[in-house]
């Protein structure tokens, strides 16, 4: 039935006769569906995107031309519709895997040679991106920043967009007033939102509620112009990146730049890639049933502290990708901002709050609400807290990462 409806849509929009329409079962496409179809002219790949309230978005929804003009590697769609509710792109079908699929295979079965090749491809992409960010970095106004669609991935998921009411949007529908089932413990939102986390013995400063409140205040688009703006994809998680292998080397290219822009706040440009391509893997965000098979997690209540024990650790390839993202992107980008006098004193908080919103608002992490179970829910919320909050009296992987990219540290 769905395939027939898509064939009808393609006919109505583009006057083409689609045959053999096949929808992919894609764990990474949380707000879209994609698949393949044939016509008399060949084989094609489509991606159909649906975002809450998209009818209120101004400007062109898919803007691959912005990235192409900036010199970034991006796959241009052959056909596209930007009508609300009918936002679909059609590409020539490729046999290249997406980078997300390459990395998932390495998560589950490490191959040092393949890992080195993938990490090198990531390094080369970051070098190209950094060049574009340096070239396009410019002063922006609050109005220019606020007009960018990238905020639909962050701030606008915290509020009710028509009224600005907070909490609203996904935050309200996912979590507020709901019950949370973890292994060994069930809590209501009012209680959970006020608890600080202790994860494998490391305590964190901020509760979930405090992090959402701070994100609502600091990630308001009107407050993000201080670090300037750049031309960026904005949502380049690895399911939107092709992996093109050529012998011993490979390179990466973008597609589906739904949130691309020329005035994207510099400190938000690489947040989605940093979280979803590195911290969100393996398995716990996108394949929670497998996460429950591979990892264990439990929680107990100790006063105002949620004591979490979790067996999940990042795979070798994710650790190497984090190092590359720090060395090849974040540190030189922050240094550039500092040289130009555009680095806010609280840049760590801005980046951390963006990282925190990535897992919590991209999908509902509450067990039983969608695909998440008690184990994956606890792992996901724990990773969100680790991303958003500083550890108390010690260091952890992310605090060391932030120290390593700090331009004020040698």
Q: What is the pLDDT of residues 55-105, one digit of tens each?
A: 444 344 567 889 999 999 998 889 988 776 567 889 999 999 999 999 999
How many C-beta atoms surround the C-beta of residue 186 within 10 A?
13
Q: Which residues of 354-369 are buried (b: 16+ CB within 10 A; e: fewer)?
A: bbbbbbbbbbbbbbeb
**φ/ψ (deg, to 5) at 360:** -70, -30
For the chain, the average pLDDT equals: 92
User: What pLDDT, on the 0 to 100 scale, is given for residue 57?
Assistant: 42
What does the block give as tokens for 42?
């060949």
Question: Which residues contact residue 210 at a Cβ distance below 8 angstroms, ignoring those fewer than 6 apart?
Answer: none
Q: Which domains does the chain have, with CATH numbers?
A: 2-92 (3.30.200.20), 99-405 (no CATH)
CA pair distance 328, 322, nearest whole angstrom: 10
And the tokens for 320?
């190497």
Contact residues for 11 (Cβ-Cβ < 8 A; gap 6+): 17, 18
pLDDT of residue 107: 95
Contact 16, 46 (CB under 8 A): no
**Would you give the DSSP letter of residue 370?**
S
The rounded distance, in Å, linking the Cα atoms of 76 and 406 is 36
Scan for tokens 């016509």, then name that residue: 39
Please tell me the predicted confidence (pLDDT) of residue 348. 98
Distance CA 244, CA 96 (A): 6
* Element housing 350 (H / E): helix 347-362
Q: Give 134-164 pLDDT, tens digit per residue.
A: 999 999 999 999 999 999 999 999 999 899 9
Q: What is this structure's pTM?
A: 0.91
Pairwise CA distance, residues 155 & 222, whole Å: 11
pLDDT in tens, 181-239: 999 899 999 999 999 999 999 999 999 999 999 999 999 999 999 999 999 999 999 98
């Amino acid at each position: 039935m769905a395939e027939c409806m898509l064939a009808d849509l393609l006919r109505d929009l583009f006057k083409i006769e689609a045959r053999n329409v096949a929808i992919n079962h894609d764990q990474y496409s949380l707000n879209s569906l994609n698949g393949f179809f044939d016509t008399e002219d060949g084989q094609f790949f489509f991606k159909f995107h649906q975002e809450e309230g998209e009818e209120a978005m101004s400007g062109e929804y898919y803007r691959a031309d912005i990235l192409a003009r900036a010199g970034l590697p991006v796959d241009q769609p052959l056909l596209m519709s930007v009508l609300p509710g009918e936002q679909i792109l059609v590409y020539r079908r490729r046999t290249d895997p997406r980078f997300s699929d390459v990395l998932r295979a390495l998560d589950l079965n490490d191959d040092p040679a393949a890992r080195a090749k993938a990490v090198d491809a990531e390094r080369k992409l970051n070098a190209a991106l950094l060049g574009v960010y340096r070239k396009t970095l410019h002063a922006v106004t609050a109005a220019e920043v606020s007009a960018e669609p990238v905020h639909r991935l962050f701030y606008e998921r915290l509020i009710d967009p028509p009224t600005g009411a907070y909490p609203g949007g996904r935050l309200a529908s996912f979590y507020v007033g709901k019950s949370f089932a973890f292994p060994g413990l069930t809590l209501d939102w009012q209680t959970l939102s006020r608890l600080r986390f202790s994860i494998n013995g490391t305590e964190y400063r901020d509760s979930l509620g405090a992090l959402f409140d701070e994100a609502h205040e600091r990630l308001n688009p009107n407050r993000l112009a201080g670090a300037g703006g750049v031309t960026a994809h904005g949502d380049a998680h690895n399911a939107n990146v092709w992996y093109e292998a050529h012998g011993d080397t490979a390179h990466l290219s973008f597609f589906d730049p739904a949130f691309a822009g020329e005035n994207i706040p510099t400190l938000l440009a690489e947040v989605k890639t940093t979280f979803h391509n590195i911290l969100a893997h393996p398995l716990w965000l996108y394949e929670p049933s497998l996460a429950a098979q591979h990892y264990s997690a439990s929680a107990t209540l100790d006063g105002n502290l949620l004591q979490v024990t979790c067996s999940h650790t990042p795979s070798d390839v994710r650790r190497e990708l984090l190092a590359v993202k720090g060395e090849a992107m974040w540190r030189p980008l922050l240094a550039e901002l500092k040289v130009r006098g555009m680095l806010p004193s609280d840049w760590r908080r801005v980046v951390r709050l963006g990282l925190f919103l990535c897992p919590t608002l991209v999908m509902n992490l509450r067990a039983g609400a969608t695909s998440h179970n008690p184990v994956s829910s606890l792992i996901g919320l724990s990773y969100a807290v680790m991303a958003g909050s500083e550890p108390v009296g010690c260091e952890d992987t992310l605090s060391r990462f932030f120290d390593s990219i700090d331009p004020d540290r040698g």
